[in-house]
Amino acid sequence: MAGQHFRVWFGERAATSDELRRIEDIEVTQEMDAFWEARLRMVLCLDAQGAWLHWPGATSAPFSRVRIELDNGSGTFTPLIDGPLTSVDAALDSQPGRSSATMVVRDDSAFMHRDEETEPPFQRRRASEIARELFGRFAQIGETRIEETPASPASTTRRGTALQFLRELGRTCDRHAYVLPGEQPGASIGCFLPDPEGPSALPPLVLIGDRRSLASASVFQDPDGGARTQARVLRVNDQGETTFDTSAADLGLMRDLPALPADLTPRRLLHPADNTREDPAGAASAQARRDGYVYHLSSQVIPGCYAAVLTPYQKVRIDAGATPYSGDYLITKVVHHITPSLYTQQFDAKANSQTEIAGAAVAEALGGGVQISVSVSGGIF
């Protein structure tokens, strides 16, 4: 695999060679349902008069744009983050070579979380229509990716920031509200989408064998996960009752077997804060999908052994040998760590089901069959 390269944009200009040399490391944290954040640590030094040189706050205004792109060896640069400079942190030391300044950058959803407001209710509007309107109010959002929602409640009231409101809407209709960096600088993508259902477009991550690309993998099974969700709502128009019951198995599993047998699946009521619509199907499905992710995995990619760049909201297949843990996972968090000499990816992922392991697969994983060696020795005393 070819070497990795990164580049940084400050506003509309690319960082100079001198600015890139002063960057000691970059850490970009991408997480579902949270701000994406980058931290660029840059070296500082003193001149003969005791003044700090290369202070980034002297040349970069608050909320000026910063963009980071990475080429993982494929020859194509992938944007990791594009958004405003939200703060500059300092670590100052009297000893030479130990001082630094850290530029903190967030994705463009930071602009959507600045002002808390109330506005007149949205009457008979689907959540997808409201999301399209709110994203359109921000010049930093160049395009949108929105999957239509079916329900049109009588009234939806916004109180809080635009981002808070969109995420609350998402909880009631099984959607995530987030912002991705666009292909071009300064034009991010506003997303209002469910969890992906199709197969992964990423190459598999392998724990064992010649194609190994994972250093290790830790899997945690949530003992309270996998619940069915029940909802019950009193209708205003006829005083009747609407009920809905669903689980991750009903919504579609990622693998062969459910995490729990049907007779051991716990039942949970839809949370009262989300049970506010006459049709509770969207909110109940969203809660059941969240509760259905029983398996949580943490791992680290071996540097130089994987050609793709991981990001949340994507599926990836993980091959962990002949175990129930092999199969598709939904990536929930990725930490990209970039230095002038090394690039690493740490990530968290989750799954709502397990893989059925046949005896033949276990034998193949052990080398094509089962061999038994018996040694007997005896002695006379």
The string of DSSP codes covering 69-101 is EEE-SSS--EEEEEEEEEEEEEE--SSTT--EE
Instruction: Give the per-residue pLDDT at 370.
Output: 37
* 225: its two tokens: 């996960």
Q: Residue 214: name the closest of 354, 321, 84 by CA.
A: 321
Instruction: Give the per-residue pLDDT at 162.
Output: 96
- Higher-confidence residue of 260 and 374: namely 260
Percent share of the chain, pLDDT over 70: 92
In terms of DSSP H, where are the helices of 256-354? 281-292
**Beta-carbon contacts of residue 202 (< 8 Å; ≥ 6 apart):** 308, 310, 314, 315, 316, 317
- Higher-confidence residue of 293 and 368: namely 293
Question: What is the dihedral angle through the alpha carbons of 194, 199, 202, 208, rounded to the nearest 10 degrees?
Answer: 120
Instruction: Give the per-residue pLDDT at 59.
Output: 66
Cβ count near 274 (within 10 Å): 18
Average pLDDT for the chain: 88
Does pLDDT of 93 surpass 90? no
- pLDDT confidence of 374, banded at 50, 70, 90? very low
Does pLDDT of 375 surpass 50? no
How large is the average pLDDT for residues 351-364? Answer: 71
Considering 19-23, 203-207, 259-263, the range whose residues carry the highest mean pLDDT is 203-207
Instruction: Give the per-residue pLDDT at 210.
Output: 87
- Higher-confidence residue of 179 and 53: namely 179
**Chain-centroid distance, C-alpha 152:** 29
Q: Give the range among 23-27, 232-236, 305-309, 319-323 with minimum mean pLDDT.
A: 232-236
* 35: its two tokens: 């701000």
How large is the average pLDDT for residues 3-15? Answer: 89
Does pLDDT of 366 surpass 70? no
Strand extents, DSSP E, 117-183: 117-123, 141-146, 155-160, 176-180
Output phi, psi for 125, to 5 deg.
-115, 135
How large is the average pLDDT for residues 9-36? Answer: 93
End-to-end Cα distance, the chain: 64
C-alpha–C-alpha distance, residues 200 and 220, integer Å: 22
Considering 54-58, 153-157, 314-318, the range whose residues carry the highest mean pLDDT is 314-318
Q: Is the pTM of this model over 0.95?
A: no
Q: How far is CA 346 from CA 2, 13, 218, 301, 372, in A?
A: 20, 30, 12, 6, 39
How large is the average pLDDT for residues 338-345? Answer: 93
Instruction: Give the per-residue pLDDT at 115.
Output: 94
What is the amino acid identity at position 14? A
Does pLDDT of 301 surpass 70? yes
Q: Give the range among 35-44, 130-139, 333-342, 368-377 with minimum mean pLDDT.
A: 368-377
Q: Give the range among 62-71, 98-107, 243-252, 367-376 with minimum mean pLDDT.
A: 367-376
* 150: its two tokens: 């079916």
How large is the average pLDDT for residues 11-39? Answer: 94
How large is the average pLDDT for residues 318-344? Answer: 94
Does pLDDT of 314 surpass 60? yes
Does pLDDT of 168 surpass 60? yes
- pLDDT confidence of 49, banded at 50, 70, 90? confident
Furthest C-alpha separation in the chain: 98
- pLDDT confidence of 143, banded at 50, 70, 90? very high
Considering 86-100, 116-130, 357-371, the range whose residues carry the highest mean pLDDT is 116-130
C-alpha–C-alpha distance, residues 23 and 42, integer Å: 4
Contact 143, 182 (CB under 8 A): yes
Instruction: Give the per-residue pLDDT at 2.
Output: 60
Instruction: Give the per-residue pLDDT at 95.
Output: 80
- How confident is the model over 190-210, as pLDDT tens digits? 999 999 988 888 999 999 988
